[in-house]
Structure 1
Amino acid sequence: MICELDLNLCWWFFCGCAFGSPDTKIDWDAYMSQVTGFLAGERNYAEIHGDTGPLVYPAGFLYIYSGIQYITGGAVFPAQILFGVLYVINLGLVLLIYIRAQAVPWWALSLLCLSKRIHSIFVLRLFNDCVATTLMHASVALMQQQHWHLALTVFSAAVSVKMNVLLLAPPVLLLLLKSLTVWGVLTSLGCAAILQVLVGMPFLLTYPMEYFSRAFNLGRVFIHFWSVNFKFVPEDFFISKPFALSLLILHLGFLFVFAQYKWCRHEGGILRACGPQNVREEPKKSDLNVVDKFLRSVQSLSANHILTVVFTGNFIGIVFARSLHYQFYSWYFYSLPFLLWKTTFPTPVRLAIFFGTELCWNVYPSTPVSSVALLLCHVSLLAGLWFAPSEYPYVDRTKEIKKS
C-alpha cells in the first residue's frame, strides 16, 4: 500500500512536470551529437564532440543513449516519456531498499517524490545522471540481498555511464571486506573490472589513452558559475589546486573517521572489521552442519547497515565535492530521508533540513547566500549522522540456526 501511494503521487508529479512545462533540454543535443559520431564509426574519444564540448563519459553512456536514440528517433518528447518510466523504476528501487532497511516511517517515504528539481532532472532534462543513479540503486538493492558479485557488476555498469558513482567505491569496498572472504572480494572486484574492459573494448583496442584521459578524467575543473555549492568562494580560489586538495583531504579524512568509529565500531575499528581477527557475536552451537559452517565464513550484513554505509559514504563525498551542478542533486537526493532519520534530530528539524536543501537546489542561478545555506544543511546533517547511535551491522543468525 505504501509503494502504491508513493508511485501514484510520483505519477501525478511526473505528468505535471512533463506536460505542464516547456521543453528545457540542456545536454540532449550534445548527447545525440556524441552518439551520432559513435554510431558513424568514430572510436577516438578526442574526436567525439557535442554542443557542450568533448565527450567525457565512459562508453556505457554511448551504448545506452544509442539505444535511446534508436527508440525515440532523437526526438525530445518521446525521450521524456521514456525517462518518466525510468523515474518510476528508480523510485520503485528506492522504495524497495528503504522498506528492507526499515529505518524510515511510512509517511516519510512520500518525501521521495516531492522534489521539483528531481522531476526536472529526470523527466525534462534527460541527464545521464538519471541512468547512473537508477543503476546505482539497483546495485544497492542487490547488496542488501548479499548478491555481491552481481551487485558489483551492476555497480560497474553505473560507473560506465557516469563516473560520479565512484563516490560510493570506498564504502562499497569496506562492505565487501566486512562481508566476504578474500577470494570473494577479489572475484567481486574482478566482475566489476571485466565489465569495464568489455564496455570499453572498442576504444581500448584503438585509442586507449584518449579513452582513459577523457572518460576517467579526475582532474576536471567545473565552471564556477554553474556550481550550486561553494558559490560564495571567490572564483580564483575555487579553481585553484589548494582548494581542491583541501577538499580531497577532508573527504578522505571524514571517510576514515566514520569508517573507524561509526561503521566498524562494533568490531573495534577498520583493521579488526576487515581482518581475520574480526570478532563478532555469533550463536554458540557445536552442531552446525556444513552449510552453516560455510555461511559463517561469509558475514551477512544487515540491510540497514549496508544502506547506512553506502548512503553516508556517498553523502560525505557530496559535502566535500568542489562543484555540484544542478543535475548532481540526483546523486544523493534519494538518500536524504534515510540519512535524516538516522539522526536523533526531532522530526521538525529533519523536515527543515530536507526542505531547506530542496529550496537551495531550486535557486537559479545559485547565489552565495543559497550556497552558504546549502552548506549549512549539509554540515548539520553530517553532524547529526556523527552523533547518531551506530546500529549492529550483522544479521542475527540465532533465529536462523534455531529454525534449522
Structure 2
Amino acid sequence: MGPIRNKSINRHNQSSNNSQSFGHNIKYFINYIQDFITKKVLTFKIFHEHECYPIVSNILLLFEIFLNVIIINRVRYTEIDWSTYMQQVECFLNGTRDYSLISGDTGPIVYPAGHLYVYTLLYWLTDQGQNIYRAQYIFASLYLITLFIVFQLYRHYSQAPPFVLIFMCLTSYRVHSIYVLRLFNDTIAILFLYLSLLSFTGQKWIRGSIFYSLAVSIKMNILLFAPGLFLLYNEYLNKWNLIKNLAICAFVQIIIAIPFITTYPISYIKCSFNLGRIFLHKWTVNYRFLSESIFIQKQFHIILLILHLIFLIIIFRKRWMNLIENFFNKNNNEKVEHSNDDWHEYPDKNKQMKQKIGQHILMTMFISNFIGIVFARSLHYQFYIWYYHSLPFILWTTSIGANYFMTNICMLGLIELVWNIYPSTVWSSILLHLVHLVILYRLIRYRNYNIDITTITRATINIAGTIINNDNDNKIK
C-alpha cells in the first residue's frame, strides 16, 4: 500500500502544481492586459509606437472580417465586368484560342492569359459564374490576404506609425467596393504583386520574380513597377542572377500563353499587351478637364509617355548611372548576395540593415509605379488600388519633421475624396493632379531612398565579417 499511496500523493501534488501554474499564468495575463491598456491604450501610444503594429494590425483584420460581411449582405452588388469575364471564360472553355474572338458584353479581352486562368477557376467555384454571393466572399478573402501582406510590409519596413493602418482600412469605401462589390481583376493582380514584394524584401528573388510575372500575366498595369524592379536586379544581383531572373519573368509569360502563342501569336500579343489602347473618356478620373477630342489624340499619349520617361530618369538618375557603370564593370560578377539565412545568422547586428534594404526595395517599386500613375493616359475607378496601399508608405518615408503629419493626412484625404466622386468632374481631376504633383515634388527633393546600394552591401559584409572574426577570436581564446 505504501508505494501506491506515494504515487497518489505525487499525482495530487502535480495536479496542485499545475493548477497553481495555470492560475499564475491567468493572473499574469490579466496583469499584462491591464498594464497594456493603462500604458499603451489610454495614453494613445498604441497608435504611435512601432512595437504596437502586431496588435493594431490583428485587431483591424478582425474588424475587416465583420465589415466585409456587412458590406456584402447590406450593400447592393453592382454588375460591371464580372459577366464579361465569365463570357470570356466560356469562349476559352469552348476552344477559342484566337484572342481577337474572345469577348463579352463590354468588349474583347484586353488582358494576358493569366486573367483567363484565374477567372476560369472562379467560373467553376461560383457555379459557372452564377453564384455572385459566393464570389463576393472569395474576393473578401483575397482582400484580407492582401491586407495581411501589406500590414507585414508596413510593420517591418515602414516609418509610418500604426494609426496609418486604421486610415488604410476605415477610410476607403471605394477600395472595399472594388473588391467585394465589383469583383475586378485588378485585385488579383495586386495580390500577386504584394506577394512578390514580400519575397523581394526577404531576399527571395526567384520566388519574387515568379510572383511578379504572374501578376503581369493577369493585368498589364503591373509593368509600371518594371523600371524599379530592373534597378533592384542590377543593384542586388550579379550579372548571371540578373539574367536568370529576367529569364524567369519571360519564361512564366511564355508558359502561361502557350495555348495562344502556338496558335494565334500575333492576335494574343496585340490584344493582351495593347500599348496603344484608347480608353473611353466617360470613365476617366484624372483627365475630365480635357475635351474628348484632345483626350483621344495620339500626340497627347506620346507626350505623357515622354514625361513618364523623363521623371523616371530625374528621380532615379544616380542609379541609372550606376547601372551603366556596373554593366561595364568586369568585377560586377563578384557582387556578394545574401540569402534569407544570412540575415537570421546575426539577427541583432543585421536587423537595422535589413530594414533599410527592405525599405529601399519597397520605395523603389512604389515610386516607379507612382510615376507611371501620375502620367497614365487614363485612370479608371478600379485603378485606385494600383497605389492605394503604397501611398502612406511613400508619404511617411519622405516626411521630414512633425509638420508633415497633417500634410500627409490631408493629402490622403483629398485623394480619397477625388476617387469617391462619381462621375468625375473637372475640379476633381485637377485636384488629383495637384496632389500627385506635390507628392512627385517631395520624391524629387527626397534623397534617402536613392542611396548607393553598394555602400549598403559593403556595410552589411563588414558587419558580418566583423562578427565572424570576433567569433573566431573567441573560439581561439
TM superposition score normalised by structure 2: 0.77
User: Is the contact between residue 342 and residue 385 of structure 1 (CA under 8 Å) also seen in structure 2?
Assistant: no
1:193 aligns with 2:250: yes
Aligned equivalent of 1:381: 439
User: Is the contact between residue 174 and residue 274 of structure 1 (CA under 8 Å) also seen in structure 2?
Assistant: no
Q: 402, 423, 428: which is aligned to 1:370?
A: 428
Name the SS of the counterpart of 1:400 in structure 2: helix
Structure 2: how far apart are the matches of 1:274 and 1:14? Answer: 49
Q: How does 1:175-324 map to 2 (within 5 A)?
A: 175-261=232-318, 264=319, 269-272=322-325, 276=329, 302-324=357-379
Q: 78, 81, 98: which is aligned to 2:154?
A: 98
1:58 aligns with 2:115: no
Deviation at 1:66, TM superposition (A): 0.5
Deviation at 1:270, TM superposition (A): 4.4
Aligned equivalent of 2:50: none
Structure 1 or 2: larger helix share?
A: 2
User: Is the contact between residue 167 and residue 314 of structure 1 (CA under 8 Å) also seen in structure 2?
Assistant: yes
Aligned partner letter, 1:323 = S
Structure 2: how far apart are the matches of 1:389 and 1:179? Answer: 19
1:78 aligns with 2:134: yes
1:173 aligns with 2:226: no
Deviation string 1:223-245 (CA, Å, 9 cap, x unpaired) is: 01100001101111111111111
Deviation string 1:98-118 (CA, Å, 9 cap, x unpaired) is: 222132111112222131111
Name the SS of the counterpart of 1:160 in structure 2: helix
Identity of aligned residues (%): 40
Q: 346, 350, 358: which is aligned to 2:416?
A: 358
User: Is the contact between residue 259 and residue 269 of structure 1 (CA under 8 Å) also seen in structure 2?
Assistant: no
User: Is the contact between residue 13 and residue 119 of structure 1 (CA under 8 Å) also seen in structure 2?
Assistant: no
Q: 116, 122, 126: which is aligned to 1:68?
A: 122
Deviation string 1:175-199 (CA, Å, 9 cap, x unpaired) is: 0011111110110011111111110
Structure 2: how far apart are the matches of 1:213 and 1:202? Answer: 15
Aligned equivalent of 2:24: none
* Pairwise CA RMSD: 2.2
Structure 2: how far apart are the matches of 1:171 and 1:309? Answer: 5
Deviation at 1:334, TM superposition (A): 0.7
Structure 2: how far apart are the matches of 1:271 and 1:106? Answer: 39
Deviation at 1:250, TM superposition (A): 0.5
Aligned partner letter, 1:179 = Y
Structure 2: how far apart are the matches of 1:369 and 1:94? Answer: 31
Decide which structure has the larger Cα Rg and report it.
Answer: 2
Deviation string 1:243-271 (CA, Å, 9 cap, x unpaired) is: 1111101100101111114xx39xx7543
Structure 2: how far apart are the matches of 1:235 and 1:7? Answer: 42
Structure 1: how far apart are the matches of 2:75 and 2:406? Answer: 32
Moved more, 270-279 or 207-216: 270-279
User: Is the contact between residue 234 and residue 323 of structure 2 (CA under 8 Å) also seen in structure 1?
Assistant: no
Inter-CA distance 237–8: structure 2 relative to 1 (3 Å threshold):
same
Deviation string 1:279-337 (CA, Å, 9 cap, x unpaired) is: 9xx99xxxxxxxx9xxxxxx988000001100011000000001000000010001011
| Alignment: residue pair count | 384
Considering Cα pairs closer than 8 Å and 6+ residues apart, tell me whether 1 or 2 has the greater RCO.
Answer: 1
Structure 1: how far apart are the matches of 2:464 and 2:70? Answer: 47
Name the SS of the counterpart of 1:217 in structure 2: coil
Instruction: Give 5+ residue unaligned stretches, structure 2.
Output: 1-54, 337-344, 346-352, 469-477
Aligned partner letter, 2:141 = V
Deviation at 1:275, TM superposition (A): 5.4
Aligned equivalent of 1:343: 398
User: Is the contact between residue 314 and residue 444 of structure 2 (CA under 8 Å) also seen in structure 1?
Assistant: no
Deviation at 1:61, TM superposition (A): 0.6
Deviation string 1:122-153 (CA, Å, 9 cap, x unpaired) is: 11100000000000011111110111111111
Inter-CA distance 337–217: structure 2 relative to 1 (3 Å threshold):
same
User: Is the contact between residue 143 and residue 151 of structure 1 (CA under 8 Å) also seen in structure 2?
Assistant: yes
Moved more, 99-108 or 82-91: 99-108
